[in-house]
Amino acid sequence: MQFMLLFSRQGKLRLQKWYVPLSDKEKKKITRELVQTVLARKPKMCSFLEWRDLKIVYKRYASLYFCCAIEDQDNELITLEIIHRYVELLDKYFGSVCELDIIFNFEKAYFILDEFLLGGEAQETSKKNVLKAIEQADLLQESEDEYLSVKIFK
């Protein structure tokens, strides 16, 4: 996989992960072009696009578009399922995830993505294992946050 973008129906970028080294300018250009192209497509249309020399696989979940760029010989359907598995992971972690969760906790979304995909390849496809890894790292944070929230509301 070359990169993954999450953006809203309004075209606001919510998450970006680049697995190939590109300059900021290129990244911005690609993002702008792709957001435009994908948003212009109708709901019943094909989830795959040929774009430059890459293949774009995208899927919409509620108000959020998930969009991955893969190489020509890669399997489009499995990429669609990668997106789906990522959404499942987010859902499980946040508990029925919505766009707001990802906006306000985008760093968490990144952590989950990094446990699932590493360097553009699926690293761990078992849902349980990914979440276990995240939870272990979160453990300390959670306890601190709990401590904090207790403080706030007392």
Partner 1 sequence: MSDVVEKTLTALPSLLSLDSQPGSGKLSSTSKLGNLIRGITELTSKHEEEKLIQRELSSIKEQVASPNTSMRQMKELMVRAIYCEMLGYEASFSYIHAIKLAQQGTVLEKRVGYLAVSLFLNESHELLLLLVNTVLKDLQSTNLIEVCMALTVVSQMFPKDMIPAILPLVEEKLTHPKEIIRRKAVLALYKFYLIAPNQVQHIHNKFRKALCDKDPGVMTASLHIYLQMIKENPEGYKDLTASFVTILKQVVGGKLPMDFNYHSVPAPWLQIQLLRILSLLGKDDQSTSEMMYEVLDESLRRAEMNHNITYAILYECVKSIYTIHPKAELLEKAAKCIGNFVLSPKINLKYLGLKALTYVVQQDANLALQHQLTIIECLDHSDLVIKRETLELLFRITNAQNVTVIVEKMLEFLRLSKDDYTTIDLVGKVAELAEKYAPDNEWFIETMNTVFSLGGDMMQPDIPNSFLRLLSEGFDSTEEDRQLRLFAVDSYVSLLQGEPGRLPQRFLQVISWVLGEYSHLREGLEPATTLRLLAKLLDMKHTSSETKSWVLLAMSKLCEGPDCVSLAQELSERHGGSLDTVLRQRVQELRHLSEDAELRASVLPRDAAQEPLEVDSSLSFLDGFVSEALSAGAAPYKPPHQRQEELAQAKALSLEPYGLSLPISMSSCSLADRQSPTLLSMSSGLSGNSTDLSHKGGSTTLKLDGVKRVWGKDGYLAQKEPVEESAQVEVPSPLCSPSRQGGADSTHSQTPTPTPTPEPEKEKQQLASSLFVGLGSQSSVCLMGKSEQTPQRFRRKAKGQGSSSGASEQISNSHYSTQSTVDNLLCNNLLDSTVTSDLAVSTPEQTPQLSQEVATTNGTCDAEQDLIEETDPGNSPSLIRANSTVTADPPAHKDPDRPKDSCLSSHLPAELAGLSHSEIIPLCSSQNLDLSACHVQKEDALLLVIFIENSSDSDIEQMLLQTESDELEVSCVTDSPVEAVRSLSVSVYQYSLMVKRPAAHVALAGTASYQLPSGESQVMQFSYRLPLTSFIRPLCVSTEEYGTLWLAFSQDTKQNLALLNDGQDPLTATLDVLKNKLQLHVVDIIGAEGIVACRLLQGQPCLMHCRVHAGSLAVWLRSPVPDLPDCLLYHCQRALQEH
The C-alpha angle 54, 5, 113, rounded to 5 degrees, equals: 110
Q: Is 150 in the site for partner 1 (CB under 8 A)?
A: no
Cβ atoms of 78 and 72 within 8 Å: the answer is no
State which residue, 92 or 123, has the beta carbon closest to partner 1: 123
Please state the closest distance from residue 27 (CB atom) to partner 1, in A.
9
Binding flag, residue 19, partner 1 (CB under 8 A): yes
Three-class SS state of 20? coil
The one-character DSSP state at 136 is H
Binding mask 36-55 for partner 1 (x = CB under 8 A): ------x-xxxxxxxxxx--
Residues making contact with partner 1 (CB under 8 A) = 13-19, 21-22, 24, 28, 42, 44-53, 75-78, 80-81, 84-85, 94-95, 98, 100-101, 103-107, 110-111, 114, 118-119, 121-129, 133, 136-137, 140-141, 144-145, 148-149, 151-152
